[in-house]
Chains A and B, each alone.
Chain A
Amino acid sequence: MTIKEIQEEIISEFSAYDDWMDKYNYLIEMGRDVPQIDVQYKTNNHLITGCQSRVWLHADLKENKVFFTADSDAVITKGIVNLLIRVYSGHTPEEILEADIDFLDQIGLKEHLSPTRSNGLLSMVKQMKLYAQVFKLKMNN
């Protein structure tokens, strides 16, 4: 699936929940399933700043595709990271760099994009794109 298709899939999954509680229960579940970052990467170097909770992010390149792992001490934050991972992981650096991310808006998690809270969220997206950028440069060399 393309990044666009995955976003559409998530939007349709979320549209099944009309109650905010179901939505958040789903996010919490997603949080518990996040692809775990290896302990060796759970360091300050991998910490994303600007979040109310701590978020660690790491990426590996396998067969020209980027795979992210992460962790956070807050489970809702982990759920949101996992949504981003589901969208971005398994794609080439090029695809990640070109993708527009608009699904968070459409699944009613827009408040996590407000400047105060989502410094964190925007930083996560930025950090993921940064990994893609670095891998792209490495591949071209």
Chain B
Amino acid sequence: MEKGSFQVEVIRKQFPAIHQQVYGKQLVYLDNAATTQKPQAVINRLTDYYTNENCNIHRGVHYLSQQATSAFEEARNTTAKFINAAHSHEVIFTKGTTESVNLVAASLGKLLMKMGDKVLITGMEHHSNLVPWQQLCKAHQGELLVARLTDSGETDLNHFAELLRQSPKIVAVTHISNALGSINPVREMISMAHQQNIPVLVDGAQSVAHMKIDVQELDCDFFVFSGHKIYAPMGVGVLYGKSEWLEQMPPWQFGGEMVDQVSFAETTFNQLPFKFEAGTPDVGAVLGLATALDFLSEFDIQTIAKHEQKLVENTINELKQIDGMRLIGTSAKRAGVVSFVVEGIHPYDIGTLVDKMGIALRTGHHCAQPVMTRYEVPGTVRASFAMYNTAEEVDHFVATLNKAINMLR
């Protein structure tokens, strides 16, 4: 299929929420790493579902239930295809990245971890890909190994290799840091871990909307992401896992849908993917996710990546002109976010003032407190980009930032 051409002005028309004023100023939405806005097609999909199709799935024999079930399973196929999974049943729908990581930590943890065992992560993980592993290690009186970061915000691969020699049972790494923007060389890290047969989970929350994801090419054992950061509704996430792992892993949550036969004495569990999907899922959000992935698939994701890359580069170049500017995360391999502090000014003050001028940014520790500690900052200001942002918005943001800094100096 011929991919649609990428024209940002045309794309912008499809996102109603970005066309609004806040405090009487045109909104510039640069908080996409927290959540992206939704295209009209996704909004319509939710409305359609609740208007015409709402029904519980995999249960009823009646018409609506069958329709909803087949749409839900079609969404699984769409998702599998989007990340190039070998099989649809390798895609488990969850509430989000956090739940996906917790599922793997609990279930794979049960399968692999013995007393004193270790898990290896990097120093740039979001709390969601840190705390579940830390708690798993604690429960086994083991140790959480953390690969150091370099001053520019990259994982120190020598240290990573060194820690691998301590034979952790699981490796969990983020694909792109939400606080620094650095891209981890996950393919290389996965092949390093696989030389010792250690399974690897990749946290793709910040990468999935910004680059082509091919889980077979990466050869990751698990890949997790959230719908709401890829133009889809909140409340839905994905856990991709290789069949060979998912088949062996015990169920995590118990309840309806994930069972085969139940008596008071015994229960046998359903097959993949259902054994990991206890309870009624957010069907509407899952269908919305499929619509968002279809929407993105209309474009060549490389073109989107290039567009966003240009915005990131423009932002960095313009920020560098500002007195007292310190970029947090200066890796050359980066995407999506630009994080910074301005000497003598608290991030919260900047965030408060630019908000008043219509710029939506994030300030704080970005749920990555150890990263803030590593770079000795209380928090940062973070601008993060999506396909609908423009070069004019970057200019406007930097001009506004300068105004705020002048007020605060």
Q: Which residues of A contact B (CB under 8 A)?
A: 20-21, 24-25, 28, 52-54, 73-77
**What mask results when residues 324 to 362 of chain B are scored 1 for a CB within 8 Å of chain A, else 0?**
000000000000000000000110110011001000000
* Interchain CA distance A75-B347 in the complex, whole Å: 10
Tally of A-B Cβ pairs under 8 angstroms: 36
Complex contacts, A73 vs chain B, CB 8 Å: 346, 378
30 A-B pairs, CB-CB below 8 angstroms? A20-B23, A20-B356, A21-B356, A21-B407, A24-B352, A24-B353, A24-B356, A24-B407, A28-B407, A28-B408, A52-B348, A52-B363, A52-B364, A52-B379, A53-B346, A53-B348, A53-B349, A53-B378, A54-B378, A73-B346, A73-B378, A74-B346, A74-B349, A75-B345, A75-B346, A75-B349, A76-B349, A76-B352, A77-B348, A77-B349
* Interchain CA distance A25-B378 in the complex, whole Å: 23
Complex contacts, A24 vs chain B, CB 8 Å: 352-353, 356, 407
* Interchain CA distance A52-B407 in the complex, whole Å: 20
Complex contacts, B356 vs chain A, CB 8 Å: 20-21, 24
* Interchain CA distance A54-B347 in the complex, whole Å: 12
* Interchain CA distance A53-B348 in the complex, whole Å: 7
Complex contacts, B408 vs chain A, CB 8 Å: 28, 75
Most chain A beta-carbon contacts within 10 A, residue among B345, B346, B356, B408: B346
Complex contacts, B407 vs chain A, CB 8 Å: 21, 24-25, 28
Complex contacts, A77 vs chain B, CB 8 Å: 346, 348-349
Please list the 5 inter-chain residue pairs (A to B) with the smallest Cβ-Cβ separation, ordered nearest first: A74-B346, A74-B348, A52-B348, A53-B348, A74-B349
Residue of A nearest to B404 (CB): A24
Most chain A beta-carbon contacts within 10 A, residue among B346, B349, B352, B408: B349
- 12 A-B pairs besides A24-B407, A75-B346 with CB distance below 8 A are A21-B356, A28-B407, A52-B364, A52-B379, A53-B348, A53-B349, A73-B346, A75-B349, A75-B408, A76-B349, A76-B353, A77-B348
* Interchain CA distance A77-B346 in the complex, whole Å: 10
Decide if the interface of chain A is mainly helix, strand, loop or mixed.
helix
Residue of B nearest to A74 (CB): B346
Q: Which residues of B contact A (CB under 8 A)?
A: 23, 345-346, 348-349, 352-353, 356, 363-364, 378-379, 407-408
Q: Is the CB of B348 within 8 A of A76?
A: yes
Complex contacts, A54 vs chain B, CB 8 Å: 378
Residue of B nearest to A51 (CB): B348
* Interchain CA distance A24-B354 in the complex, whole Å: 12
Complex contacts, A21 vs chain B, CB 8 Å: 356, 407
Residue of A nearest to B365 (CB): A52
* Interchain CA distance A74-B23 in the complex, whole Å: 22
- B270 to chain A minimum Cβ distance, whole angstroms, is 40
Residue of A nearest to B353 (CB): A24
- B359 to chain A minimum Cβ distance, whole angstroms, is 14
Complex contacts, B23 vs chain A, CB 8 Å: 20
* Interchain CA distance A84-B147 in the complex, whole Å: 45
* Interchain CA distance A77-B356 in the complex, whole Å: 15
- A39 to chain B minimum Cβ distance, whole angstroms, is 19
Complex contacts, B353 vs chain A, CB 8 Å: 24, 76
Most chain A beta-carbon contacts within 10 A, residue among B352, B363, B364: B352
* Interchain CA distance A45-B348 in the complex, whole Å: 22
* Interchain CA distance A35-B187 in the complex, whole Å: 55
Complex contacts, B345 vs chain A, CB 8 Å: 75
- A52 to chain B minimum Cβ distance, whole angstroms, is 5
Complex contacts, A75 vs chain B, CB 8 Å: 345-346, 349, 408
Residue of A nearest to B378 (CB): A73
- A92 to chain B minimum Cβ distance, whole angstroms, is 33
* Interchain CA distance A28-B364 in the complex, whole Å: 20
- A91 to chain B minimum Cβ distance, whole angstroms, is 29
* Interchain CA distance A21-B404 in the complex, whole Å: 10
- B49 to chain A minimum Cβ distance, whole angstroms, is 30
- A89 to chain B minimum Cβ distance, whole angstroms, is 24
* Interchain CA distance A133-B289 in the complex, whole Å: 53
Residue of B nearest to A54 (CB): B378
Residue of A nearest to B379 (CB): A52
* Interchain CA distance A75-B345 in the complex, whole Å: 8
- B367 to chain A minimum Cβ distance, whole angstroms, is 13
* Interchain CA distance A119-B378 in the complex, whole Å: 18
Complex contacts, A53 vs chain B, CB 8 Å: 346, 348-349, 378
- B247 to chain A minimum Cβ distance, whole angstroms, is 43
- B99 to chain A minimum Cβ distance, whole angstroms, is 22
- B355 to chain A minimum Cβ distance, whole angstroms, is 9
* Interchain CA distance A74-B345 in the complex, whole Å: 7
Complex contacts, A25 vs chain B, CB 8 Å: 407
Residue of B nearest to A73 (CB): B346
Complex contacts, B378 vs chain A, CB 8 Å: 53-54, 73
- B98 to chain A minimum Cβ distance, whole angstroms, is 19
